[in-house]
């Protein structure tokens, strides 16, 4: 049997999970996939995700990689996991990867989407997939703030407190908001990497701007302050989707 490296693309509904990362005694996406892979491949399997997603956050195309000694094809593994896995986790794709491919370290950039329902009445349909913001949001102002974010900056102001990192500098290639339908806003952001809660802290602060509580100049001052305590509240997890991970 050959030792092989595999690249999996995974869609999941994060509502019922305690996030991506394996935890003892709690349902996580990584945990569920590893349990099934360990069973199918008859060996202890650990997978590496492109990064963690928080509890309640969804993914359309999370990427994970793992090594295994097996005669099964990547297609066999995909079908096997989809047949046995519990809960709303689907392997969209599984392909052989170069031996040095690693879902996290090989990633060049990632794209997240955040969905906001902007209307007076709450949400019945799709309530696990969007944040309900009751008061009208000014999209133009929000997009002026998004423009401030594009480039390479220290994003410490948007990092969750108490998460030490060697560097809090990241490069944002794209950030913008579009009206998805009459009352739905879709925020899209792509960057070389994201700090803990970074997208949710940016969205929470953008909403403050959309409500006209802060100006784009204030938003810029928050970014340059490099101080988490000056940014807006953290947006809830259920509007957030890991949309795509880019590799070279």
Specify the 3-state DSSP secondary structure of 59.
Answer: strand
Min dist. Cβ of residue 194 to a copy of itself (A): 20
Min dist. Cβ of residue 60 to a copy of itself (A): 7
Q: ∠ CA(4), CA(112), CA(174), 5° rounding?
A: 115
Using CA atoms, how far residue 152 sits from 61, 143, 170, in Å, is: 25, 18, 6
Min dist. Cβ of residue 93 to a copy of itself (A): 8
Residue 188 burial (C-beta neighbours within 10 Å; 0-12, 13-18, 19+): middle
78-95 CB burial, b ≥16 within 10 A, e <16: bebbeeebeeebebeebe
Cα dihedral across residues 11, 200, 192, 147: positive or negative:
positive
Min dist. Cβ of residue 74 to a copy of itself (A): 14
Residues in binding contact with a copy of itself, number by CB under 8 A:
21
Task: Determine if 186 is a binding residue for a copy of itself (CB under 8 A).
Answer: no
Q: Can you state the angle between helices 74-84 and 29-41, rounded to 10 degrees?
A: 120
Q: Count other Cβ atoms within 10 Å, centred on residue 216.
A: 17
Binds a copy of itself by CB under 8 A, chosen from 12, 20, 114, 155: 12
DSSP type of residue 128: T
Task: Determine if 126 is a binding residue for a copy of itself (CB under 8 A).
Answer: yes
Nearer to a copy of itself among residue 170 and residue 243 (C-beta): 243
Q: Per-residue string for binding with a copy of itself, 45-84, x by CB under 8 A?
A: -------------x-x-----------------x---x--
Region 96-125 residues binding a copy of itself, contact defined as CB under 8 A: 121-125
Task: Determine if 11 is a binding residue for a copy of itself (CB under 8 A).
Answer: yes
Catalytic-residue membership of 218? no
**Contact region with a copy of itself (CB under 8 A), list: 40-48, 85-93, 138-146, 218-226:** 85-93
Min dist. Cβ of residue 54 to a copy of itself (A): 16
Specify the 3-state DSSP secondary structure of 192.
Answer: coil
Task: Determine if 181 is a binding residue for a copy of itself (CB under 8 A).
Answer: no
C-alpha to C-alpha distance for 46 and 65, rounded to whole angstroms: 9
* Catalytic member of 13, 25, 54, 183: 54
Phi/psi of residue 209, nearest 5 degrees:
-70, -40
Task: Determine if 153 is a binding residue for a copy of itself (CB under 8 A).
Answer: no
Nearer to a copy of itself among residue 27 and residue 216 (C-beta): 27
Active-site residue list: 54
- Residues of this chain that interact with a copy of itself (CB under 8 A) are 11-13, 58, 60, 78, 82, 88-92, 121-127, 129, 241
């Amino acid at each position: 049997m050959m030792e092989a490296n595999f690249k999996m693309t995974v869609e999941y509904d994060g509502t019922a999970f305690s996030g991506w990362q394996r935890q003892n005694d709690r349902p996580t996406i990584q945990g569920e996939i590893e349990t099934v892979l360990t069973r199918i491949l008859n060996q202890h399997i650990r997978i590496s995700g492109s990064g963690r997603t928080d509890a309640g956050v969804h993914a359309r195309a999370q990427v994970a990689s793992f090594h295994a000694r097996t005669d099964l094809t990547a297609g066999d593994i995909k079908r096997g996991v989809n047949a046995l896995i519990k809960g709303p986790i689907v392997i969209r794709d599984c392909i052989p990867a170069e031996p040095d491919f690693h879902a996290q370290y090989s990633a060049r950039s990632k794209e997240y989407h955040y969905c906001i329902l902007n209307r007076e009445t709450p949400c019945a349909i799709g309530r696990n997939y969007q944040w309900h913001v009751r008061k009208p949001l000014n999209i133009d102002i929000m997009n002026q703030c998004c423009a401030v974010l594009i480039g390479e900056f220290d994003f410490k102001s948007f990092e969750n407190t108490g998460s030490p990192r060697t560097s809090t500098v990241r490069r944002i290639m794209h950030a913008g908001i579009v009206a998805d339908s009459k009352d739905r806003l879709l925020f899209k952001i792509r960057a070389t990497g994201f700090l803990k809660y970074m997208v949710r802290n940016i969205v929470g602060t953008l909403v403050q701007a959309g409500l006209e509580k802060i100006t784009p100049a204030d938003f810029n001052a928050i970014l340059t302050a490099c101080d988490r305590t000056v940014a807006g509240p953290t947006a809830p997890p259920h509007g957030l989707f890991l949309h795509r991970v880019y590799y070279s």
